[in-house]
């Protein structure tokens, strides 16, 4: 396992992050604990959860699983989504953040969270209120570092600017959807994070399972995340585009050439991508875990990376092409 620093911090995290969204749901506690222990034994140290994953059961299972190895784990969780039935039971207000951290710490069985993230932008709460509350959590010792997730580029930049102006702790990371199928962050977010030294932690690195090559064009699945009517970003209608199948074909071709699986190829491409810190991979079964962890022990050739970059790249767009045209040369 390799390690890198998380954004503009001295925090070293493993090149893969173990996602726990299914723990306590489709993945029972026994297998969940086994995955966590295998991940730590493989040298992984970065584990991501959230207060809303499986109604809080994910945090509980993670907490019980790492209890005897807490100091070696970089534990990440999130706040923002609805967790209570009342009007203030959601958002990134001071109240919900303060209530949320105490509830998460109790479920996790620990007295601190290494990386505490705002799950999605909250348009109803002034960013100054959110950042001041997070700054207080760092000062109190309940949180070590802060990050955000599912932000637009202006929202992240405004947050960084407010932290700079007010002397608050700044976001060290952004958890954002990014994969061979979803490169929208290339429009602005990737260059912003590189400029401001914010680590990118991609979620859905396999496109909700699409890049595993378990699905066929024109055949909507009846099981799994892609079959769900409310699958959101991972719905079949969203994933099953002609371009995505072209991307998948290239992934499968390369996987056969190097005797790897499509999942391993897709994860390895992400791990070697400039600006990417630690892709968050999930697994519903131990077999899936064993396959995905195999992405760490090889490197794609430059030729294979170029092929994947080309087939998955965004179309040329304004103003990026205009800026590139007039790039200064000396």
What are the residue numbers of the active site? 53
Residue 138 CB partners (closer than 8 Å, separation 6+): 144, 145, 146, 169
Q: Is-contact 45 75, C-beta < 8 A? A: no
Q: Is-contact 114 76, C-beta < 8 A? A: yes
SS3 245: helix
Q: Is-contact 281 44, C-beta < 8 A? A: no
What is the distance between the alpha carbons of residues 206 and 263, in angstroms, rounded to a whole number?
A: 7
Beta bridge partners of 77: 116
Give the tokens for residue 148: 């955000």
Beta bridge partners of 219: 216
What is the distance between the alpha carbons of residues 6 and 12, in angstroms, rounded to a whole number?
A: 6
């Amino acid at each position: 396992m390799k390690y890198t620093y998380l954004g503009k911090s001295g925090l070293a995290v493993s090149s893969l992050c173990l996602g726990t969204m299914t723990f306590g749901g489709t993945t029972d506690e026994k297998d969940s604990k086994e995955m966590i222990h295998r991940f730590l034994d493989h040298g992984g140290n970065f584990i991501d959860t959230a207060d809303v994953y499986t109604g809080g059961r994910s945090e509980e299972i993670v907490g019980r699983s790492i209890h005897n190895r807490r100091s070696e784990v970089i534990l990440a969780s999130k706040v923002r989504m609805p967790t209570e039935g009342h009007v203030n039971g959601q958002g990134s207000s001071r109240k919900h953040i303060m209530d949320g951290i105490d509830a998460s710490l109790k479920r996790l069985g620990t007295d601190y969270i290494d990386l505490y993230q705002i799950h999605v932008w909250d348009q109803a709460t002034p960013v100054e209120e959110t950042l001041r509350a997070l700054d207080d959590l760092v000062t109190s010792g309940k949180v070590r570092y802060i990050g955000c997730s599912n932000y637009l580029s202006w929202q992240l930049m405004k947050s960084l600017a407010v932290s700079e102006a007010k002397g608050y702790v700044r976001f060290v990371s952004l958890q954002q959807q990014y994969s061979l199928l979803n490169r929208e962050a290339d429009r602005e977010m990737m260059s912003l994070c590189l400029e401001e030294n914010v680590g990118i932690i991609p979620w859905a690195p396999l496109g909700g399972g699409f890049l595993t090559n378990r699905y066929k064009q024109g055949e909507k699945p009846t099981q799994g995340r892609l079959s769900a009517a409310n699958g959101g970003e991972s719905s079949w209608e969203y994933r099953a585009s002609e371009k995505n199948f072209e991307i998948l074909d290239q992934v499968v071709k390369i996987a056969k050439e190097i005797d790897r699986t499509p999942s391993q190829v897709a994860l390895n491409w992400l791990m070697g991508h400039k600006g990417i810190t630690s892709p968050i991979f999930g697994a519903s079964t131990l077999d899936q875990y064993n396959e995905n962890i195999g992405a760490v022990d090889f490197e794609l050739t430059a030729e294979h990376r170029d092929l994947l970059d080309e087939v998955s790249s965004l179309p040329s767009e304004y103003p990026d092409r205009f800026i590139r045209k007039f790039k200064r040369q000396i």
